[in-house]
Chain A
Amino acid sequence: MTRELLQDKPPREPAPGKKWIRVTKVVNGIDSEVWEEVDDVQGPEWGPRDKLRLVSRAIPRVDGPEKVTGRAQFSHDVRLPGMLYAKVLRCPRPCAKVRLDLDAARRLKGVVGVVELGVDEVKWLGRPIAAVAAETPELAEDGLRAIVASYEDQPFAVTPARAQVDGAPLVNSKGNLRGLSRNTDTSEVDAALAKAEVKVKGTWRVPVQHHASLETHGIVVDYRGGDEATVYASTQGTFTIPGDAAGRLGLKPNQVTAVVEHMGGGFGSKFGIGIEGQAACLLAKETKRPVHLLFDRASEFHAAGNRSGGEHELEAGVSRAGELTAFKARVTRDGGISDGAGQPQPYIYAPKVAFAEQRCVHTNLDGHRAMRAPGHPQASFAMEGLMDEAAYAIGMDLVEFRKRNLPEGKRELYARQLDKCAELIGWAAHAHRSKWDASNAELKTGIGFGLARWGGGGGKDCRVEVRIASDGSVEVLSGTQDLGTGTRTYCASIVAEELGLELGQVRARIGRSTFGNANPSGGSTTAASLAPAVKHAAWNAKRALFDKLAELLGGEARNFACGGNLIYDATDKTRHIGWKDACAALGPNGLAAQGEWQSHLAANDIGGAQAAKVQVDTTTGEVKVLEMVAVQNCGLVLNELTARSQLNGGMVQALSYGLFEERVVDPDLGLFLNANFEDYKLAGCKDIPKMLAVFEDDPRGVIGMAEAAVIPGHSAIANAVRNACGVRVYEMPLTCDKILNGLIALKKA
């Protein structure tokens, strides 16, 4: 489990003037929580919620017009004078010794650079092994096909099943089953299971899901020799780029500037420059010309990471009174060549006795990467399924059974959220609350539920600057990246709020490594890290301005206030000055103020519940999701619109995961069969139900709220299907074949 608190309490009493706070630290997008000692100082406050003008209100993204008109420049769109287009050659075999002859490719007209990506033995299907840069994308592709490659096939295993049979080829020289738990003593849980009044068990499986970012991975490197380079990157971490790129270009990190003006989604898969970025840098170094290398869709599917699959063998004991008395799990993660993110069990609910064994199985496929709430959606699917099975087994209301098994310290929260979901989805009026619908109706309706938890705390990695120019214009600068989530917008709105200006008066400049440092966007840590620092910078700028004005106007700076483009002395309203005049008084240098993270402006710990209502056509197996509801605590909502989009987007992504998404690889041929957006099915607009997103009133500071949103939707859908027609689909996605086969099996039984 990756995000358990190390300890419940701080390690010791805080030093004078200090305090302990919980913070989320991220390594490769996987968060874990630690205690950190910080200064206990007075600083800016978000202020009463009802007094806020911009923050927490519904503000359209400031970059919306640019995006919808196509003016926004993504890394894909970058075109530089003399730029070459590059493409990568993927190893077409899951496991092979590779020899490449690049001569013919080099000789091709229009091909300018060819590099080998330094592998003799490839261990996973689709690994980039060479790259070609040419005058046009088409010529680059011709160059790839001119490479003479010989592959000496080695035995491979591309499915967890094949990797676990006796005599399976070794994907990992230390064995295909890895990360075995040290604690193997099951005696306590076995005894509890033996004593259980009722037992339920099942094996749940989730397939590998892909991030499916609309902008693929890659970079454009502007290097023409010399000692400076600019890298336009599609990344979740502006500051993860310069060091990586410098290494490959033979420069120092401070000679490389990363630019991330806009980026088209990452979901946890875009940190550092990756193999594709390395290839681009090597080509730029070789050709001394700018190189554009962004994956095509097939490469994106093969070599840009994924959400690990998993198998959860669960067994539980339950009392007739509705208490989970025993819980035993064996979790086998399917993380390709890597381990897969932990899929914690028991997920959220708190059985009296619990035991979980965790392990991973290696296959000759691309390794997993962090993906929106790594490990949690997988764990949720199995656990929520088990919860319903247990409730059905004792004939208890599905919501009531959940409420009886909530974890210490979270009972009130989750009970309240479950009740709210139940109310909004129409649970009380639903006929099948403790058993599923066994009627012969053709169209049947069912409801299901699920819970989510996440950390979402911030940390002190951000440095923000606010500049006020003598002409009255205001800029906020941070190197941070906007993943399309609205970061740029709240940077501007927080500053405008603090300075009493309109949103349009503040320009946010972000996505450049020459600006102040910012943390990479992983583990829902961006808002909780950045927003407090923005607030602090604006507050410092305001204080510096007030100090200047006190000199000019008299009065005391601490009595000054601002609003409506006016600065005034709150104790003497005759003492006032318009914004423009105030800024003019700053002289040609204007003013700049820095901001740092303020722990009291952020918080940590998200809880949420979701419900889904589906209709199953029992003659065709069609599942139509009719309604989804999400209730979540979110701390201070920075922007109602973008926060709502996160909850809606979470529900959409979970629906897509539950109903459609699945990587398909032929086990015999070792061939990825659906590495495109036709066969790898993502939900489209016609698949989306009515959605309702509810933020609970939450007095806390800013918390990253986006990951929890994706955790339980598919679990609720799978439970709703079972509730509607009796078919428990143990393996996602919930396609019609599984439902029809399940209905036939039910009829026979």
Chain B
Amino acid sequence: MRAFDWIQPKTLDQVLELLPGPRDTKQRDRVKLLAGGQDLLGELKEYLVQPEQVVDLKSLPGLAALEFAADGGITISALVTLAALESSAELRTRSPMIAEAAGSVASVQIRNQGTVGGNLCQRPRCWYYRREQALCIKKGGAECFAYGGLNKYNAILGGGPSYIVHPSDLAPALVAAGASAVIRGKKGERRIELERFFTLPSEGSVLRENVLAPDELLLRVEVPPQTGWRSTYLKFRERSSYDFALSAVALALKLDGGTVREARIVLGGVAPIPWRADKAEAALVGKKIDDASCKQAAELALVGAEALQYNGYKIPLTQALITKALRKLS
């Protein structure tokens, strides 16, 4: 990696001072924030980013709190580790799917080190993007090499002009829980539904995966009370030991004597963002979970899916996961 200055600020204001201006997109990679470093280090080593300054967020006080409000709400600060989420009994009670998603990330070592902020803001894993030599559209090039290339792991939904999948396991679970992101920039704080935090390559900048401006960072995620919801996170990986999702389903259901009152289905590993399957959600409402409703939900969730040459298997795979998740909660 290229040599950089290592900065350990003591206050949030100092961090904000270091960051470029809100519109200064050209300067975005001049300063990089480091949380657990599990993603950033890979990027630095492959020269995908070559910052002049790396700012250690871990030296900031007060960003590692995991709080459970009396009303059932949950506040997860950006520097809470994945291991802390995974091992919190209270979280597992309030929202099993968030705890399960955290526990499904990578390996024990990476979960001990990796943070919620880093997990949500991590960059794509597409193997073209991750090779310095391939100047793909995500790196300012003209082409998505995965589109006509070796795309077994790429998107079947929401793709174009880039076909990355969002790599985060936490993101689908938090979106399904209806979480909001609290963002801090030079001009102050803003709050946004986490679902709107992530951007499709066709909507936002193809170079980015979320709405953060160059002067902003993620402070925390707030999860509304999950009372009455049952939930689960099912992740399919090629290798059990540690692997990103080929497909994943975050499912939350409000059931009333076996009948679905409300449903949230968010897919991971299949689209450039956590993919909300709203048609499938709507179709489930008022139904019991049985073979017919599972089949219908699974089909509706994948409406619009377009397979590239090598990733067609993700369609039946995702449908199977949806069915498994529904059966598990019923």
A668 close to B (CB within 8 Å): yes
Q: Is the CB of A736 within 8 A of B236?
A: yes
Q: Is the CB of A684 within 8 A of B241?
A: yes
Binary flags per residue of A599-643, CB closer than 8 Å to B gives 1, else 0: 000000000000000000101111000000000000000000000
Q: Is the CB of B128 within 8 A of A673?
A: yes
In the assembled complex, the Cα of A421 lies from the Cα of B127 at a distance in Å of 41
Contacting residue for A687 out of B149, B240, B316, CB 8 A: B240
A679 close to B (CB within 8 Å): yes
Binary flags per residue of B25-39, CB closer than 8 Å to A gives 1, else 0: 000000000000000
In the assembled complex, the Cα of A141 lies from the Cα of B2 at a distance in Å of 9
- With A92-B133, A138-B3 as known contacts, state yes or no: A666 contacts B317, CB within 8 Å: no
B233 close to A (CB within 8 Å): no
Contacting residue for B145 out of A92, A660, A666, CB 8 A: A666
Within 8 A of B (CB), among A119-160: 138, 141-142
- With A620-B317, A620-B320 as known contacts, state yes or no: A735 contacts B238, CB within 8 Å: yes
Q: Is the CB of B241 within 8 A of A687?
A: yes
B119 close to A (CB within 8 Å): no
In the assembled complex, the Cα of A660 lies from the Cα of B240 at a distance in Å of 11
Binary flags per residue of A633-668, CB closer than 8 Å to B gives 1, else 0: 000000000000000000000000001100010101
Contacting residue for A684 out of B150, B240, B312, CB 8 A: B240
| 9-residue interface stretch from A339-347, A369-377, A737-745 | A737-745
A671 close to B (CB within 8 Å): yes
A685 close to B (CB within 8 Å): yes
B126: nearest chain-A partner, CB-CB: A673
Contacting residue for B239 out of A92, A141, A619, A681, CB 8 A: A681
List, in ascending order, chain A residues with CB within 8 A of B310's CB: 737
Minimum CB–CB distance from B21 to chain A (whole Å) comes to 30
List, in ascending order, chain A residues with CB within 8 A of B311's CB: 737
Q: Is the CB of B320 within 8 A of A619?
A: yes
Contacting residue for A620 out of B125, B134, B150, B321, CB 8 A: B321
Binary flags per residue of B216-243, CB closer than 8 Å to A gives 1, else 0: 0000000000000000000010111111
In the assembled complex, the Cα of A620 lies from the Cα of B324 at a distance in Å of 10
Q: Is the CB of A684 within 8 A of B239?
A: yes
In the assembled complex, the Cα of A589 lies from the Cα of B53 at a distance in Å of 65
Q: Is the CB of B238 within 8 A of A664?
A: no
A424 close to B (CB within 8 Å): no
Binary flags per residue of B116-157, CB closer than 8 Å to A gives 1, else 0: 000000000101101101100000000001000110100000
Q: Is the CB of B317 within 8 A of A673?
A: no
Binary flags per residue of B292-330, CB closer than 8 Å to A gives 1, else 0: 000000000000000000111100110011011000000
Q: Is the CB of B239 within 8 A of A740?
A: no
Contacting residue for A142 out of B3, B145, B242, CB 8 A: B3
A194 close to B (CB within 8 Å): no
Contacting residue for A681 out of B1, B3, B125, B238, CB 8 A: B238
Contacting residue for A673 out of B131, B239, B241, CB 8 A: B131
Q: Is the CB of B312 within 8 A of A741?
A: yes
- With A669-B134, A671-B134, A673-B127 as known contacts, state yes or no: A740 contacts B238, CB within 8 Å: no
Q: Is the CB of B145 within 8 A of A686?
A: no
A164 close to B (CB within 8 Å): no
In the assembled complex, the Cα of A52 lies from the Cα of B313 at a distance in Å of 57
In the assembled complex, the Cα of A33 lies from the Cα of B97 at a distance in Å of 60
A672: nearest chain-B partner, CB-CB: B131
A674: nearest chain-B partner, CB-CB: B127
- By size class, the interface of chain B is 20 to 34
Q: Is the CB of A664 within 8 A of B313?
A: no
Contacting residue for B236 out of A141, A620, A683, CB 8 A: A620
Contacting residue for A686 out of B128, B241, B320, CB 8 A: B241
List, in ascending order, chain B residues with CB within 8 A of A660's CB: 238-239
List, in ascending order, chain B residues with CB within 8 A of A669's CB: 133-134, 145, 149
Q: Is the CB of B149 within 8 A of A666?
A: yes
List, in ascending order, chain B residues with CB within 8 A of A737's CB: 152, 310-313
Minimum CB–CB distance from B316 to chain A (whole Å) comes to 5
Binary flags per residue of A51-68, CB closer than 8 Å to B gives 1, else 0: 000000000000000000
Q: Is the CB of A671 within 8 A of B243?
A: no
Q: Is the CB of B127 within 8 A of A744?
A: no
Q: How many residues of A contact B (CB 8 A)?
A: 32
Minimum CB–CB distance from B11 to chain A (whole Å) comes to 30
Within 8 A of A (CB), among B67-118: 107
B170 close to A (CB within 8 Å): no
- With A669-B145, A671-B134, A736-B246 as known contacts, state yes or no: A621 contacts B313, CB within 8 Å: yes
Minimum CB–CB distance from B203 to chain A (whole Å) comes to 28
List, in ascending order, chain A residues with CB within 8 A of B240's CB: 684, 686-687
Minimum CB–CB distance from A297 to chain B (whole Å) comes to 10
A139: nearest chain-B partner, CB-CB: B3
List, in ascending order, chain B residues with CB within 8 A of A684's CB: 107, 239-242
In the assembled complex, the Cα of A651 lies from the Cα of B2 at a distance in Å of 42
Minimum CB–CB distance from B22 to chain A (whole Å) comes to 32
Q: Is the CB of A664 within 8 A of B242?
A: no
List, in ascending order, chain B residues with CB within 8 A of A621's CB: 313, 317
Q: Is the CB of A619 within 8 A of B241?
A: no
In the assembled complex, the Cα of A678 lies from the Cα of B127 at a distance in Å of 10
List, in ascending order, chain A residues with CB within 8 A of B246's CB: 736
Q: Is the CB of B150 within 8 A of A664?
A: yes
Q: Is the CB of B241 within 8 A of A671?
A: no
B321: nearest chain-A partner, CB-CB: A620
List, in ascending order, chain B residues with CB within 8 A of A744's CB: 316
B238: nearest chain-A partner, CB-CB: A735
In the assembled complex, the Cα of A679 lies from the Cα of B1 at a distance in Å of 20
Q: Is the CB of A736 within 8 A of B238?
A: yes
List, in ascending order, chain B residues with CB within 8 A of A681's CB: 238-239, 243
Minimum CB–CB distance from B236 to chain A (whole Å) comes to 6
Q: Which of A142, A622, A744: most chain B CB closer than 10 A?
A: A622
Minimum CB–CB distance from B291 to chain A (whole Å) comes to 12
In the assembled complex, the Cα of A397 lies from the Cα of B133 at a distance in Å of 53
Within 8 A of A (CB), among B180-230: none
Q: Which of A141, A619, A620: most chain B CB closer than 10 A?
A: A620
In the assembled complex, the Cα of A619 lies from the Cα of B313 at a distance in Å of 11
A624: nearest chain-B partner, CB-CB: B240
Q: Is the CB of B150 within 8 A of A666?
A: yes
List, in ascending order, chain A residues with CB within 8 A of B238's CB: 660, 681, 735-736
Minimum CB–CB distance from B70 to chain A (whole Å) comes to 38
In the assembled complex, the Cα of A511 lies from the Cα of B150 at a distance in Å of 44
Minimum CB–CB distance from A743 to chain B (whole Å) comes to 8
In the assembled complex, the Cα of A684 lies from the Cα of B239 at a distance in Å of 8
List, in ascending order, chain B residues with CB within 8 A of A659's CB: 239
List, in ascending order, chain A residues with CB within 8 A of B324's CB: 619-620
In the assembled complex, the Cα of A669 lies from the Cα of B148 at a distance in Å of 11
In the assembled complex, the Cα of A280 lies from the Cα of B65 at a distance in Å of 50
List, in ascending order, chain A residues with CB within 8 A of B320's CB: 617, 619-620
In the assembled complex, the Cα of A664 lies from the Cα of B310 at a distance in Å of 13
Within 8 A of B (CB), among A305-357: none
Within 8 A of B (CB), among A26-62: none
B153: nearest chain-A partner, CB-CB: A679
List, in ascending order, chain B residues with CB within 8 A of A674's CB: 127
Q: Is the CB of A683 within 8 A of B239?
A: yes
Minimum CB–CB distance from A659 to chain B (whole Å) comes to 8
Q: Is the CB of A619 within 8 A of B312?
A: no
A620-B236, A740-B317 are known; give 17 further A-B pairs, CB within 8 A: A141-B1, A619-B324, A621-B317, A660-B239, A664-B150, A668-B149, A671-B131, A671-B133, A673-B150, A678-B125, A686-B241, A687-B239, A736-B236, A737-B313, A740-B316, A741-B312, A744-B316
Pairs A–B under 8 Å by Cβ, sample size 17 = A617-B320, A620-B317, A620-B321, A620-B324, A660-B238, A664-B127, A666-B150, A671-B128, A671-B131, A673-B128, A683-B241, A684-B240, A686-B241, A736-B236, A736-B238, A736-B246, A737-B310
- Nearest first, the 9 closest Cβ-Cβ pairs linking A and B are A684-B241, A619-B320, A737-B313, A686-B240, A673-B127, A740-B313, A686-B241, A620-B320, A681-B239
Residues in chain A within 8 A of chain B (CB atoms)? 92, 138, 141-142, 617, 619-622, 659-660, 664, 666, 668-669, 671, 673-674, 678-679, 681, 683-687, 735-737, 740-741, 744
